[in-house]
Amino acid sequence: MERSLIKDVLAEQRFGEPSRVCGWVRTKRESKGFVFLALSDGSSQDTLQIIVFPEAPAFRELHRCNTGAAICAKGILRESPAKGQSIELEATDIVVVGEVDQATYPLQKKGHSLEFLREIGHLRPRTNTFGAVFRLRNILAAGVHDFFQARGFLWVHTPIITSSDCEGAGDLFTVTTLDLRNVPKKDSGEVDFSGDFFGTRAYLTVSGQLEAEFLALSLGRVYTFGPTFRAENSNTTRHLSEFWMIEPEMAFADLDDDITLAEEFFRFLCREVLEKGHRELSFLESHYKKISCDELRKLAETPFVRMTYTDAVRELRAANERFEFPVSWGSDLQSEHERYLTDKVVNGPLVITDYPKEIKAFYMKQNPDGKTVAAMDVLVPKVGEIIGGSQREDRLDVLAQRMSEVGISIENLRWYLDLRRFGTVPHAGFGLGFERLVQFVTGMANIRDVIPCPRAPRAIRL
RNA sequence: UCCUGGGUAGCUCAGCCGGCAGAGCGGGUGGCUGUUAACCACUUGGUCGGGGGUUCGAAUCCCUCCCCAGGAGCCA
């Protein structure tokens, strides 16, 4: 008999029909006259209840059907007479596929702390919580593609290994095949990469934006969705060394178009997750109380509040609030400032625009005032910055001038300047940290709990 | 990297102004005619993070290293 997914069995409610399901036992509850199993196969948040009576051949296998065991159960679907579920499988036959030694199996029926589950990353997807998180992550990932594909954006694949080290001054991972026991050095004492695999120093990418720009300036509308890497020694609940980023880039677009895109994108994903991940959201809401479906529904409907950096500074200086760090025009907003604005002033997502050029990247378009750039950050309550974007500087002379001001080699980025030399066009885009989005939607407090194998300083166990 | 709090049974934690290593949960065994992270009874379980020091005696006090969590910086 063909195997059914528990998701379908629960949805279709085919009482009286035969069925065969396979999965892992969550709990076993034994009485004298019958035994209940709760079975999960990962296809849904809900388990399927299996009942076994002593007369059934399956009964003889029950001593091996402990928490965590992999089994296939065959029987007839019945209407459940008790509260808690409407359908259950009355099993006639059970095949134990993989047994579990109860004494050493780390997952028990009772809940575990997220910290403990982080130590057993290969088993934590079997829990309610991580099953919910990873199913929601999938809904969001699929939603990203649905959103952009429906709007004529091309998914482009920018490189993971790159020679470009100039996007911000962030720390990069070096990729090398040099013999680490005998590293060649120049006379100056610096490492000589000329004999390395690529003949020059190579890195793991920190962003696909620069490459996405040349693709947008030929294909029109593109987006990247792939892994990026930061070697920063950040130990926080919001940072990973390896994370997935989404970076759309649009030709013939300005900052306003960029913000509109970001807003529609974010709200679309809220709707997707409400529609397709309702059971998962409800579970997380009831167990962690960090996110609510009502909240997401509201977000899916209300427009973002827009505020210039200058206005934000004015708002913060007028605030009747003691900040640890002073607020002054020209310095970047601190976490506490952002949190005050999102949680107390607007109580929802906020877009801050037109930052001072000194605190933003060299490629952002300078505004007519000569002091600010056409940049935008989307801040959401609890998580903070989730999207950072800008209109790009499309004037050759202004861009070249800015690059020399901040000390970026024009020689290495000749190709990037070519885009302004040959058929330049106003264009804009943004970057969204996928894990922060998953974090926001699931309400998980630590970003390490929304990716299967989190990478962070001194953390690469699994 | 900095600040703060932690590390004791498989898990969650109590014990910490020095004096016999504890509880709940889990695991095991038995019971129970519709259970829902079932329930009841009995039972099992320890390198007190590692190393060093003080002391008659250290889970407890001191030094040091490692690890974990939260906050900060950096950012997405």
Checking if the pLDDT of A241 tops 50, the result is: yes
Per-residue tokens: A99: 């047994």
Q: To which H or E segment does residue A338 belong?
A: helix A335-339
Which of A67, A269, A312 lies closest to A150, judged by CA?
A: A269
pLDDT of A169 reads 45
Q: What pLDDT, on the 0 to 100 scale, is given for residue A166? A: 64
Average of pLDDT values for A411-428?
94
Q: How confident is the model at residue A415 (pLDDT cuts 50, 70, 90)?
A: very high
How far apart CA A326 and CA A334 sit, in angstroms, is 9
What φ, ψ does residue A397 adopt, rounded to 5°? -65, -40
The answer to whether A306 and A341 have CB atoms below 8 angstroms apart is no
Supply the DSSP symbol for A59.
Answer: G
Helix (H, G, I), strand (E, B) or coil at A456: strand
Distance A444 CA to B70 C1' (A): 14
Q: For residues A344 and A311, what is the distance between their CA atoms, to the nearest angstrom?
A: 15
Does A265 score more than 80 pLDDT?
yes
Q: Which residue has the tokens 């800008």?
A: A390
Distance CA A372, CA A356 (A): 4
A403 CA, B42 C1': Å apart: 77
Strands, E assignment, A392-453: 427-433
Q: Name the pLDDT band for A389 (thresholds 50, 70, 90).
A: very high
Among A65-69, A142-146, A284-288, A454-458, top mean pLDDT goes to: A142-146
Q: How far is the CA of A234 from the C1' of B73 (A)?
A: 9
Per residue in A212-221, is it b (16+ CB within 10 Å) or e — as a string? bbbbbbeebb
- Averaged confidence pLDDT in chain A: 93
Q: pTM higher than 0.90, yes or no?
A: yes
A81 DSSP assignment: S
Percent of chain A predicted with pLDDT > 70: 99
Q: What are the sequence ranges of the domains in chain A? A: 6-105, 126-171+206-449
- pLDDT interval class at A168 (50, 70, 90): low
- pLDDT for res A227: 96
What is the Cα A455 distance to its own chain's centre?
A: 13
**Cβ neighbours of residue A195 under 8 Å, at least 6 residues apart?**
A178, A184
Minimum-distance nucleotide, CA of A118 to C1': B68
Q: Tokens 């195997």 appear where? A: A3
C1' (B36) to CA (A31) span, angstroms: 13
Three-state secondary structure call for residue A51: strand
Reply yes or no on whether the pLDDT at A45 is more than 90. Answer: yes
3-state secondary structure of A229: strand
Q: Strand, coil or helix: what is A363?
A: coil
Q: Count CA atoms within 13 Å of residue A332 on its CB side.
A: 11
Q: Give the residue among A103, A100, A127 at the shortest CA–CA distance from A113.
A: A127
Spatial strand order in the sheet of A305-308:
A154-155, A221-229, A242-251, A427-433, A384-391, A375-380, A350-353, A305-308
What would the DSSP string read from start to end of A147-159?
HHHHTTPEE----
- Distance, angstroms, CA A21 to C1' B41? 36
Average pLDDT over residues A308-324: 91
Using alpha carbons only, what angle is made at residue A362 by residues A358 and A366, rounded to the nearest 5 degrees?
75
Equal fold, A6-105 vs A126-171+206-449: no
Counting residues of chain A whose pLDDT is more than 90, the rounded percentage is 79
Rounded CA separation A139/A52 (Å): 35
Level-2 CATH architecture, domain A6-105: Beta Barrel (2.40)
Nearest to A6 by CA among A43, A38, A49: A43
Q: Which residue is nearest to nucleotide B76 (CA to C1')?
A: A433
The pLDDT tens digits for A182-218 are: 999 999 888 999 999 999 999 999 999 999 999 999 9
Which CATH fold topology does A126-171+206-449 show? BirA Bifunctional Protein; domain 2 (3.30.930)
Residue with minimal CA–C1' distance to B11 is: A112
Q: What is the number of H-type helices and E-type strands within chain A?
A: 12, 16
Strand B nucleotides below 7 A of a protein CB?
Answer: 1-2, 10-13, 25-28, 31-39, 67-76
The pLDDT of residue A348 is 84
Question: Residue A440 CA to B14 C1' — how many Å?
Answer: 35
Residue-level pLDDT at A353:
96
Backbone angles phi, psi at A425, to 5 degrees: -155, 145
Confidence class for position A82, pLDDT limits 50, 70, 90: confident
> Where are the strands (E) in A169-241, listed by range?
174-175, 202-204, 221-229
Checking each nucleotide's C1' against the CA of A377, the nearest proves to be B76
Mean pLDDT value across residues A146-170: 87
CA distance A155 to A352: 27
Residue A49 half-sphere exposure toward CB, CA atoms < 13 A? 17
Give the nearest nucleotide to A112, CA to C1': B11
Instruction: Please check the confidence at residue A356 and state whether its pLDDT lies above 90.
Output: yes
Mean pLDDT confidence for A145-171: 87
Task: Output the CA–CA distances (angstroms, integers) from residue A130 to A126, A243, A280, A285, A448, in the order listed.
Answer: 7, 18, 10, 13, 11
Dihedral angle of Cα A422, A423, A426, A431, to the nearest 10 degrees? -60
